[in-house]
Amino acid sequence: GNSVTQMEGPVTLSEEAFLTINCTYTATGYPSLFWYVQYPGEGLQLLLKATKADDKGSNKGFEATYRKETTSFHLEKGSVQVSDSAVYFCALTPPSGYSTLTFGKGTMLLVSP
Amino acid sequence: NAGVMQNPRHLVRRRGQEARLRCSPMKGHSHVYWYRQLPEEGLKFMVYLQKENIIDESGMPKERFSAEFPKEGPSILRIQQVVRGDSAAYFCASSFGNTGELFFGEGSRLTVL
């Protein structure tokens, strides 16, 4: 079946540090890949996505590249802010059929001033 | 343009009671998904519905849980005879089509005493 594995958190960084949150997946074929973000007390919001190999999704300074050869979709940001503190979820949908998202367990990011 | 609306935001029930969680999708969206988030875990898919139809309920426990999305009105997730293990945050999401881009509500947090 489909699955997503994320690095465990929390990830604790100082403001302006470089961020990487690792995500690898298991799926048949070419799934679509997503990063969602959940701020405290809120629902999830789509952060970025990529639908085919070598695509790069980007939004709000965050980037992730779809790597088919390593089945990875690592999230990066060059300079984090305190307001980026949240839980980040990597997710996938299968290449065909229903677009039911399969999520990783989430990685909490804590950014201190 | 209102987002996905869930209510109640917080619900407390005693063991054996029933819990009903409501979800109004975004305007124009006909696909509704329910996810459960347990402490220290990611989001687990429960059920996917379109108007008047259950498309995929593979993630929903076979007993005590049911979901509907009637022609008129919100989607309802119903949990009968609740137990302490049902305590969790239940998130509803909606989408316009089959793209994997889901819009989430703020969640309903169920506490079973």
Residues B61-101 pLDDT 10s = 999 999 999 988 999 999 999 999 999 999 999 998 767 78
* Contact (CB<8Å) B4/A46: no
Q: What tokens does A107 get?
A: 């990685």
pLDDT score, position A98: 66
- Interface list for chain B against chain A, based on CB atoms closer than 8 Å: 4, 31, 33, 35, 40-45, 48, 55-56, 91, 93, 95, 98-107
pLDDT above 60: residue B1:
no
pLDDT of residue A99: 66
**Predicted pLDDT of residue A41:** 82
Closest partner residue to B100 (CB to CB) among A34, A44, A89 is: A34
The arithmetic mean of pLDDT across residues A85-93, rounded, is 94
Distance from CA of B78 to the nearest CA of A (A): 20
Distances B96 to A30, B48, B93 between C-alpha atoms, Å: 22, 13, 11
Give pLDDT tens digits for B38-48.
877 788 999 99
**CA B75, CA B91: separation in Å to the nearest integer?**
12
**Band of residue A97 on the pLDDT scale cut at 50, 70, 90:** low
Estimate the share of chain A in helix, then strand, then coil, as percent rounded to the nearest 5. Answer: 5, 50, 45
Q: For residue B6, is pLDDT > 70?
A: yes
Asked whether the beta carbons of B3 and B103 are under 8 A apart, the reply is yes
Q: Tell me, what's the pLDDT at A86?
A: 96
Task: Show residues of chain B in contact with A36, CB under 8 Å.
Answer: 104
Nearest-CA neighbor of A36 among A106, A85, A96? A106
- The predicted pLDDT at position B83 comes to 96
Taking residues B29-44, report their average pLDDT: 88
Q: Between B76 and A101, where is the model more confident?
A: B76
Residues B37-60 have a mean pLDDT of 89
Given a cut of 70, whether residue B104 has pLDDT beyond it is: yes
pLDDT digits (tens, 9 = 90+) for B15-25: 999 999 999 99
Candidate from A46, A98, A103 with C-beta closest to B43: A103
Q: Do B100 and A44 touch (CB under 8 A)?
A: no
* Confidence check: pLDDT of A64 > 80: yes
Q: Is the pLDDT of residue A30 over 70?
A: yes
Supply the mean pLDDT for chain B. 92
Contact B79, B64 (CB under 8 A): yes
